[in-house]
Amino acid sequence: MPAIMEQPISGPLAGLMVLEIGHYVAAPFCTRLLADLGAEVTKIEPLSGDPVRKWGEQFEGESLWWSTHGRNKKSVAINLRARGAADLLLALVKRHDVVVENFRPGHLAALGLSDDAMRAANPGLIISHISGYGQDGPYRDRPAFGVIGEAIGGLRYLTNHPPGSYDLPPVRVGVSIGDSLAGLYAAFGIVAALWERDGKGIYAGRTVDVALSEAVLSMMEGMLTDYGKLGKIRQPSGSRIPTAAPSSAYLSADGKWILIAANSDPLFERLARLMGVPDLPQDPRFADNRSRLDNVDALDTIIGKWTRTLSAGELLEQLEAAEIPSTRAYTAADCAADPQFLHRRMVQKVNDPLLGDVLHVGVVPRIPENPGAIRWTGPSVGQHTEEVLTSSGISRDQIDCFRAKGIISC
């Protein structure tokens, strides 16, 4: 297998220069999306490395998550608190189109890297700030992680079974969804700002201000509208969809959860025939979507009784033949073996110099005419420091001086 690093740069963002001054999840996720589509991303991390390098499963002392989290990026290790570090960063800012950061508001300014200072070095710079609550407002200075954004944005309240069904706390989605949503919005905002700057010929710097809390809130469908007009507070609904039925997870005879979404009248009629109760749609309790929602407990009892008579394989074979949207709840192993994911290269085996062969998720979005690629996996700390500084016009003597002062490692 050829080394990932040997692959040429491709993708619609090839030529875009992005400087990441981020840590943990949100900003690095944003820049990974840009890098996957061809952007040249330089990640600034402390001399000890991004803390995410110590998160999750480890293999021979190396983070498995980092292989994906840091892919397609160049690592430059800089002690941002050291005297002279700000000047070094500003030298890098001059040759970049975009800076992405996710420290608490004011942190970079305190290090000599305010927006004004960076735009003095590069007037057309796009600066994307990702923070818990945004760059202004009464909560501006509060600390926050993705989990806090999920809670204050309304998501954590809804990730639960219906009230009164049990007394455990609301569950986490299972991944850092709040951080990832903020990273997605930041990437979208960056591309929008670049379109205004370059596509419209308005060569001026732009600021993209993304709050974790707002990224989550913006995904909450009609939650605010329902409350504002009706005073109705949307409640947790477990595995069901509160606006359509039937749509839930049902247990098979062999103990597997099968998702069935027969939440339109034609689909429900096909499901009823499949279950051997073709007259069920004529029952007034289930005659239309509103009726089915009002009587969803009774409906799910009927469906669940049927699903428990068949194995997961038998259920899915019959449901697929009837063209009813369905699947089992996938594990990582299921995703890795799925023929659709494999056909579209959404599961790829790549060679990581630190780990050997590993599985990576493919590039999203897919742009067939000019696709992005996994060019290399997450680098070691400071792997590209000397390369990036040299290409930014910093002399060998200066690099040696920075190293001697403990500002960089390479």
Q: What is the dihedral of CA 295, 297, 303, 305, to 10 degrees?
A: -140
Closest alpha carbon to 34 in 231, 146, 194, 154? 194
Q: Please give the DSSP secondary-structure letter assigned to residue 204.
A: -
DSSP code per residue over 218-231: TTSTTHHHHHHHH-
First-to-final CA distance of the chain: 28
Q: What are phi and psi of 231, to 5 degrees?
A: 70, 15
Q: Are 137 and 152 in contact (CB under 8 A)?
A: no
3-state SS string for 312-374: HHHHHHHHHHCCCCEEECCCHHHHHHCHHHHHCCCEEEEEECCCEEEEEECCCCCCCCCCCCC
Q: Please give the DSSP secondary-structure letter assigned to residue 285.
A: G
Q: Are 132 and 103 in contact (CB under 8 A)?
A: no
Residues 6+ apart with CB under 8 A from 135: 105, 129, 207, 209
Q: What are phi and psi of 5, to 5 degrees?
A: -65, -20
**Strand pairing partners for 20?**
43, 100
Q: Which residues of 291-313 are buried (b: 16+ CB within 10 A; e: fewer)?
A: bbbebbeebbeebbebbeebebe
Position 349, amino acid: K
Q: How many CA atoms lie within 13 A of 109 on its CB side?
A: 9
Q: Are 361 and 347 in contact (CB under 8 A)?
A: yes
The residues carrying an active-site annotation are: 179
Q: Could you identify the residue written with the tokens 């690093």?
A: 5
